[in-house]
Structure 1
């Protein structure tokens, strides 16, 4: 909010200031009719001091601060002193005490404001009695009623102002909380995107590079004695590099892998098995069990990436002679098994990124990942994903 007061409080404030201006104008007009120019000039000066205080208040940079409070109390003291002089000069200025009640109750602590209002009331009664030369009940009751009404209105004003401040603080807290949530969401999205990029690079580009390295090693080993075999490995390395480049382009564009765009999931898995183990001594056997059903693109992508990661681990770490990839369609789940007869490992001591990336992929789709292995006994990785619910015909 650009102003510290809501509309209701602003209206109440200007009603009080307007009351002061009207009472002052009536008093100045009265003393002018009586031919008392000095009192009229004094009234104008008091009005200028009152307006100067409102102008300074509106231009203070920190409303409600110590500077505002100190200047406000100095202004109240000067205006009250001017009112006292005018009230002694003419009874027409006595009723200007009514808006001054509000100023005292607004600028002073309640313990000080109530005695100040009492003194103003007594001063108004005394000034009126001094001008009339006598003291009547009406002269006492009038200012007392004005003081009581002003006090009650000021208390209501303070309560509204306190509620307005609480609402303003609540809004500021909500805005700060919203900013914090936006920053947290932005950071979470950034971390999630970084994690996604890491998974994609690990499961695609890194696996492809690993296959190319194995093929080039095979080329070097066969270049002298088996040139035709070396030539075949060079062609396979070239094909793998081409596929890796295509993967990178689709990866940048955020599209589905080219292996899935050009063929089914089964064919893509078979191709991945051949590419991942090219140039190594590991033979891969692929099979499909059950009746294949259409899968969502995110399911196919996850299964393909898990197979790439698992077979990449087989060729790099397991020293296996045989490996197998099985895609099983059950009633409500699809299961991908990747197993080998390599040297195995202890899953509780695995510190690599690959298994964690596989687990994150299946968890994001509501599935699970199981890893079974032991030193010298091979490894089996099973990824289970729930099948989407199909409507009955």
Structure 2
């Protein structure tokens, strides 16, 4: 079964968030350069922006594939990488508040990397930084700047968590469906085996058992008249032999019917094994 983190929709959403992050980062850097040309902090802004871009770009490479569990080495690398990205972003926001909106893609990264409660704490911290940066840019109090970032963060977190829970429920349903199908297939195989056993027992009773009973009766009749009427006794013996021949043919038919189809068609064991290998390959 395809892993949830390897789903095309997940990869597509991750790519969109990466593109959005770099667009926001580039826009913030361009705004800073246009608004503050030649400032002493410009080299720091360049260096931190480049560091943030490299960390974000190389994140999947440094973190490796999705971790199988919270204690895996990949999970620890993801946490370290997320911590570095957040710290560098916070320093950038302190130096240049225009970088605050780069937090929106970081919401997604945090929600995807951390457990739900820890991710919500991180989103809250990032939102506080965004509000402070926007108020600093505005140069005064603005209710819209105070309320809009928390609203955006709440919507992003709610949508992401709802989507994750829906995906988890779907995975549980799919697992239940697969398990039910396997159990149903096993039940059908058991029912088929029991039905085949019953059919064979009926055929054995109706043919072989009755044939053996007829042989016994004919041989007993031959024994009774052997001294008095040998011709009649020989007739009974020939009848018993005929019944035995018929029973032998029936027994061979049973064996033929029970044999696998590849063996039943002829060609021997080697041909049957080749046919089985061809089907399984």
Partner of 2:2, secondary structure, is: coil
Question: In the aligned structure 1, how far is the partner of 2:76 from the partner of 2:147?
Answer: 28
Aligned-pair distance for 1:44?
1.9
Q: Residue 196 of structure 1: which of 161, 179, 199 is its match?
A: 199
Question: In the aligned structure 2, how far is the partner of 1:115 from the partner of 1:215?
Answer: 94
Can you give the 5+ residue segments of structure 1 that lack an aligned partner in the other structure? Answer: 255-393
By percentage of residues, which structure has more helix? Answer: 2
Aligned to 2:269: none
By percentage of residues, which structure has more strand? Answer: 1
Map 1:335-374 onto structure 2 (within 5 A).
Answer: none
**TM-score (normalizing by structure 1):** 0.54
Distance 1:99 1:246, change over 3 A: closer
Map 1:80-119 onto structure 2 (within 5 A).
Answer: 80-108=86-114, 111-119=117-125
Aligned to 2:17: 16
Aligned-pair distance for 1:85?
1.8
Distance 1:9 1:150, change over 3 A: farther
Deviation sequence 1:44-71 (CA, Å, 0-9, x none): 2212212333345661352x65436554
Aligned-pair distance for 1:89?
3.0
Aligned to 1:373: none
Aligned-pair distance for 1:82?
0.8
Matched, 1:240 2:243: yes
Aligned to 2:140: 136
Distance 1:185 1:174, change over 3 A: same
Matched, 1:152 2:158: no
Question: In the aligned structure 1, how far is the partner of 2:235 from the partner of 2:116?
Answer: 97
Distance 1:178 1:24, change over 3 A: same
Question: In the aligned structure 1, how far is the partner of 2:165 from the partner of 2:82?
Answer: 22
Name the larger-Rg structure: 1
**TM-score (normalizing by structure 2):** 0.72
Partner of 2:4, secondary structure, is: coil
8 Å Cα contact 2:127/2:153 also seen in 1: no
Aligned-pair distance for 1:182?
0.9
Question: In the aligned structure 2, how far is the partner of 1:253 from the partner of 1:105?
Answer: 63
Question: In the aligned structure 2, how far is the partner of 1:144 from the partner of 1:98?
Answer: 15
Question: In the aligned structure 2, how far is the partner of 1:159 from the partner of 1:119?
Answer: 21
Question: In the aligned structure 2, how far is the partner of 1:9 from the partner of 1:142?
Answer: 31
Partner of 1:59, secondary structure, is: coil
Map 1:1-393 onto structure 2 (within 5 A).
Answer: 2-4=2-4, 11-30=12-31, 34=37, 36-55=42-61, 59-60=65-66, 62=68, 65-67=70-72, 70-108=76-114, 111-127=117-133, 135-138=139-142, 141-142=144-145, 144-248=147-251
8 Å Cα contact 1:121/1:143 also seen in 2: no
8 Å Cα contact 1:129/1:135 also seen in 2: yes
Aligned to 2:266: none
Which moved further from structure 2: 167-176 or 89-98?
Answer: 89-98
Aligned to 2:268: none
Distance 1:58 1:175, change over 3 A: farther
8 Å Cα contact 1:17/1:99 also seen in 2: yes
